[in-house]
Amino acid sequence: MLNLFATQLETVSLHRVGNKHRGEPMFLTEAPYPLNDELRGLLKEYFFKPFREKEENYFCFRHEAGLEFHPIHEAASKIFQDPSSLHRVSREIANHLYEQSKHPHIKNGECYIVYMTDVLLDNERVDALGIFKSEVKQDFLQFREKGALLDVLIQQGVNLQRLDKGCLIFNRGAEQGYKVLSVDSNRYDARYWLEEFLGLAPLTDETFYTKNYLKFCQHFAKDVVLPAEDKQQEVLFMNRAVNHFAKNDTFEETRFLNEVMDNPELIPEFRHYKTEKGPKYSIEDVSNFQIANKAVSDSRKKLSNVIQLDTNIQIKLNFINPESAEKFVEKGWDEERQMYYYLVYFNREQKS
């Protein structure tokens, strides 16, 4: 879990990186940019806002020949070992970004390399390195008094509500490639930032496996449980799955299936589905792992508990304990009407 509320921007180095394919130059500054309190506050909001809004999917640096050959990993290591080296190393980072700017669609822009302290990551204070890029410029109006009139000036600048690209490199797990978050608001050059410049791969930790296994279960429920049974059983299966994760610290697949799979005949279907679809979620060979509680909570929020009927009626199974639906909701068939029905038991209506 990430908390950036108390984080301090200690040093900011600013450069401009052009598109090498189009022959645009670089502009490397000679010293870090001097910060005042007002600018610090504006930049903090500009840099951190997309990370507060985005789901925390962590990455790490990877290089087939070894991390010592990874330019951003090595740059981050130099800065973490000696924060006073930030500006010198920031020029190396900007040059690497320029070397990857070879596609004609890549926009030129300003590159910010930032050293920050007091980042709260999983309740532990760590230092971090931020690399951000602003690309898209927007028109805005400035007004100036000119005699008895107001003069309107059309200018261009960066919208502080929209960061184009950014990453946070946390000073944790250097030998495993650090722990990294990345954002990219532009879809036309996604590989350029994440793969070619940063060289990132998903961080396969307990959060990764917890999220991906539950995503896999959600698709199994939709593709297998729903066609084999009905919407109620699809919803019940996912609620049992999430509750199993919530009640346990470790995951063991056989125990999970025995507890969660209400219909034992679907267990072979689950294993077959995992063989077929597991690689998409990187869980094909995974049957044991530590469970990340926050990932379970995040997954629960995204679950759909609504049964949508063709008579324009919705039934929302809003419960924590999945046994509630099995006790108090029954599905049946009315011969006279030739229609299915749901029978719901309750003691009293609750005020909304």
- Nearest-angstrom CA–CA distance, 163 and 53: 12
pTM: 0.81
Residues 40 and 143 in one domain: yes
Residues 162 and 257 in one domain: no
Residues 196 and 259 in one domain: no
- Nearest-angstrom CA–CA distance, 257 and 261: 5
Q: What is the pLDDT of residue 303?
A: 75
Q: Do the domain assignments include residue 351?
A: no
- Nearest-angstrom CA–CA distance, 223 and 274: 12
Q: Do the domain assignments include residue 38?
A: yes
Per-residue tens of pLDDT for the chain, all 352 residues: 899 999 999 999 999 999 998 999 999 999 999 999 999 999 999 999 999 988 888 999 999 999 999 999 999 999 999 999 999 999 999 999 999 998 888 999 999 999 999 999 988 999 999 999 999 999 999 999 988 999 999 999 999 999 999 999 999 999 999 999 999 988 777 789 999 999 999 999 999 999 999 999 999 999 999 999 888 888 889 888 998 999 999 999 999 999 999 889 999 999 999 999 999 999 999 999 999 988 898 888 777 677 888 898 888 776 566 566 677 888 888 898 899 888 888 888 877 6
Q: Which of 180, 185, 74 is nearest to 130 (CA)?
A: 180
Residues 197 and 218 in one domain: no
Q: What is the pLDDT of residue 122?
A: 87
Residues 212 and 199 in one domain: no
Q: Do the domain assignments include residue 169?
A: yes
The amino acid at 337: R
Q: Do the domain assignments include residue 216?
A: yes
Q: What is the pLDDT of residue 34?
A: 95
Q: What is the pLDDT of residue 40?
A: 95
Residues 296 and 179 in one domain: no
Residues 168 and 215 in one domain: no
Q: What is the pLDDT of residue 76?
A: 97
Place of tokens 């840099």: 47
Cα Rg for the chain, rounded, in angstroms? 26
Residues 147 and 216 in one domain: no
Q: Do the domain assignments include residue 352?
A: no
Place of tokens 């709260």: 120
Place of tokens 């390399």: 113
Q: Do the domain assignments include residue 70?
A: yes
Domain end position, chosen among 203, 219, 238: 203
Domain end position, chosen among 151, 183, 203: 203
**Count: domains in the chain:** 2
Find the DSSP H helices in the chain. 37-53, 71-81, 86-99, 190-191, 206-220, 226-228, 231-247, 253-260, 266-281, 293-302, 323-328
Residue 125, beta-bridge partner list:
120
Residues 170 and 234 in one domain: no
Q: Do the domain assignments include residue 350?
A: no
User: How many Cα atoms are found within 13 Å in the side-chain-facing hemisphere of 350?
Assistant: 3
Record the tokens describing residue 80, joined without a space.
């973490």
Q: Do the domain assignments include residue 69?
A: yes
CB within 8 Å of 41: residues ≥ 6 apart: none
Q: Provide the pairing of β-strand 2-3 with 149-158.
A: unpaired
Q: What is the pLDDT of residue 352?
A: 64
Range of the domain at 222: 207-344
Residues 158 and 13 in one domain: yes
Q: pLDDT tens, 75-88? A: 999 999 999 999 99
Provide the 3-class DSSP secondary structure of residue 161: coil
Residues 161 and 310 in one domain: no
Domain end position, chosen among 156, 182, 203: 203
Residues 164 and 23 in one domain: yes
